[in-house]
Amino acid sequence: MKKKLIILSVIFIGSLTLISMIEKELVQEPWEVPSKYQKMKNPYLNAIDTDKIGRILYTKRCKSCHGVKGKGDGKKAETLDTEVGDFTDKSFKDQTDGALYYKTLFGRDDMPSFKKKITDEKDRWLLINYIKSF
């Protein structure tokens, strides 16, 4: 009887975990980016980041969720309610720099806004350049 109860408990907890994961996938809606930002050009696209500003900002602001190599596997990723973007994924790489600028600037759900945390526009673009390098 005790074994059956343990087995049923494990199945129940596993089912709840699975339902939670499926629900997380279904709830997250596509991230709509206004046309103005979709079309925005990166004025620092070919800039050489000699001071490693993009990498420094990534390490300070993004790595904890997106991970060392941008795969969405940072230490905080599992604690979030929404899926963390994988910067190495084709769907990420297909986004315009302007769309990424918008998402970084305004944030959504668990993704924070960096409008007040990264105030220099050039620094924002250097961060975009860095995350696009994964």
- Domain count along the chain: 2
pTM of the model: 0.78
114/107 Cα distance (integer angstroms):
7
Residues 6 and 64 in one domain: no
Domain containing 9 equals: 1-30
pLDDT, tens digit, 9 for 90 and up, residues 42-82:
999 999 999 999 999 999 999 999 999 999 999 999 999 98
56/97 Cα distance (integer angstroms):
19
Residues 77 and 52 in one domain: yes
Q: Is residue 9 predicted with pLDDT exceeding 90?
A: no
Residues 92 and 62 in one domain: yes
